Amino acid sequence: MERNVIGMILKGYPRISETFISNEILQLESLGFRIHIISMREPREDFTHGNVRRIRAQVSYLPTELTTGLPRLLPPFLSLWRERPRETRAALALAWSRYRRTRRLATLKHLLQGAYIVRKILPGSGITHLHAHFAHSPTSVAMFASLFSRLPFSFTAHAKDVWTQEAEQLGEKIDLARFVVTCTRANREYLTRLGSGRTSVHAVYHGIDLRFFAPNGRLPTARPPFRILTVARLTGKKGLDTVLRAIKLLRQRGLAFRYELVGDGEQRAQLEALVGELGLEDVVSMPGVQAHEVIREQFRQADVFVLGSRIQENGDRDGIPNVLAESMAMGVPVVATSVSALPELIENDVTGLLVPPDDAQAMVAALERALTDQDLRRRMIPAAQDRVRQCFDNLRLIQNLASILRHEIPGT
């Protein structure tokens, strides 16, 4: 018997910064799940990770912009208005109440994209359930498509989409969903409080591919010139300005090193200017976004990985960045901050070093210790690898997710 199809609504596909989603889709397919990807926009990068090419799911793209896409978005909605007036009135009522709270025209776009899915994608697709990745706009689209079609929907919540969304808006989505998945225990506790209690919220870590991110084979000892690595989106919540100030302090302590900051984002120009202001041009490299295969080579050469995660004024914060687990798995000690769910992965002085956010003095002390205290490295590196193997192996975690999906979505 052929299994039902899950319509997976994504913000964009493929996206180089969301490898965890493509990995999840690939693994679910290997377990027999049938998936149809519905992307809210075309890919923005001109290259992808290798795993994307192995995904078999059909991909459909929605009209992206409300203005230019209206000729394609409006006819499906008008068709549903004629044929399903009750469902359309319910969707309009919800859209109006949400617009009154936010005054954002994006609500109208999400309403029309939901109608587009029902009219243009669902027929003949075999889709019986809609699942969105990220609790903001993809879940809004899934919610409206669910109202139009009467198909159930669910969503996976991650980080920014959880903590920057207005609580009433998010609580409404939780209560309308069949179930919710999120990637940290801290998120689960928060989301459970927002809902009325009738929707189950499951915590499943993303995990990493331990076959791909295998130990680097190097000895635990580190010798100058040291190699310091960060892989991150260049955005405020990553605390990269604090990292650069710590790098400046480390140089003043006389250590020889190179610092590689891999990634791109809206703060690139600001961070490049700070590198110049701090006089670090000769020790800092910023090569931009790199494919996973290249990043793995970066890990193999690194002596320590550092990330300065902080909580932004709007509430935005990291969950558990996969790069931390990848670094730990490959035998590279990590220095990070004690915010959000990071302590769920890193136990201070056991599997890594945690410092307060926005504290360059504490960070430089931790960096120097992680590089020069060889006894600490010999103790911490295997403990970190054990932690990742026990709790962040994506082959084990995908089984947990598969069990949730099979329980919550009949016929998959």
How many angstroms separate the CA atoms of 258 and 281, rounded? 10
pLDDT, average across residues 338-346:
96
In terms of domains, do 400 and 375 share one? Answer: no
Write down the pLDDT at residue 2. 72
In terms of domains, do 174 and 135 share one? Answer: yes
Residue 25 confidence (pLDDT) above 70: yes
Our count of domains for the chain comes to: 2
For the stretch 230-248, pLDDT in tens is 999 999 999 999 999 999 9
- CATH number of the domain where residue 48 is located: 3.40.50.2000
In terms of domains, do 402 and 336 share one? Answer: no
Global pTM reads: 0.89
Residue 47 confidence (pLDDT) above 60: no
Write down the pLDDT at residue 48. 59
In terms of domains, do 137 and 49 share one? Answer: yes
Beta partners for residue 61, in sequence order: 39
Residue 252 confidence (pLDDT) above 90: yes
Of 88-102, 131-145, 214-228, 367-381, least confident by mean pLDDT is 214-228
56 secondary structure, DSSP code: -
Reported confidence tier of residue 53, pLDDT bands at 50, 70, 90: confident
**Sheet harboring 153-157: ordered strands across?**
58-61, 34-39, 5-10, 127-133, 153-157, 179-182, 200-203
Residue 217 confidence (pLDDT) above 60: yes
How confident is the prediction for the chain on average, in pLDDT?
Answer: 94
109, HSE (Cβ side, Cα atoms, 13 Å): 17
Q: DSSP string covering 316-376, please? A: ---S--HHHHHHHHTT--EEEE--TTHHHH--BTTTBEEE-TT-HHHHHHHHHHHHH-HHH
In terms of domains, do 167 and 285 share one? Answer: no
In terms of domains, do 124 and 250 share one? Answer: no
Reported confidence tier of residue 5, pLDDT bands at 50, 70, 90: very high
CA angle 189, 191, 196 (to 5 degrees): 110
Owner of token pair 């590689």: 260
Residue 50 confidence (pLDDT) above 70: no
154 φ, ψ to 5°?
-145, 175
Write down the pLDDT at residue 216. 73
In terms of domains, do 273 and 320 share one? Answer: yes
Write down the pLDDT at residue 46. 61
pLDDT over 70 for what percent of the chain? 98
Write down the pLDDT at residue 293. 87
Write down the pLDDT at residue 411. 87
Reported confidence tier of residue 228, pLDDT bands at 50, 70, 90: very high
In terms of domains, do 48 and 144 share one? Answer: yes
In terms of domains, do 283 and 307 share one? Answer: yes
Residue 1 confidence (pLDDT) above 60: no
For the stretch 103-133, pLDDT in tens is 899 999 999 999 999 999 999 999 999 999 9
**Burial class, 209, CB count within 10 angstroms (exposed 0-12 / middle 13-18 / buried 19+):** buried
Beta partners for residue 200, in sequence order: 179
Is residue 147 domain-resident? yes
Write down the pLDDT at residue 198. 93
Write down the pLDDT at residue 17. 66
Q: DSSP string covering 277-288, please? A: HTT-TTTEEEEE
In terms of domains, do 200 and 69 share one? Answer: yes
Residue 62 domain boundaries: 5-207+393-408
Q: What residues contact 124, with CB distance under 8 A and at least 6 apart?
A: none
174, HSE (Cβ side, Cα atoms, 13 Å): 27
The answer to whether the beta carbons of residues 377 and 334 sit under 8 Å apart is: no
Is residue 213 domain-resident? no
Residue 327 confidence (pLDDT) above 80: yes
In terms of domains, do 76 and 158 share one? Answer: yes
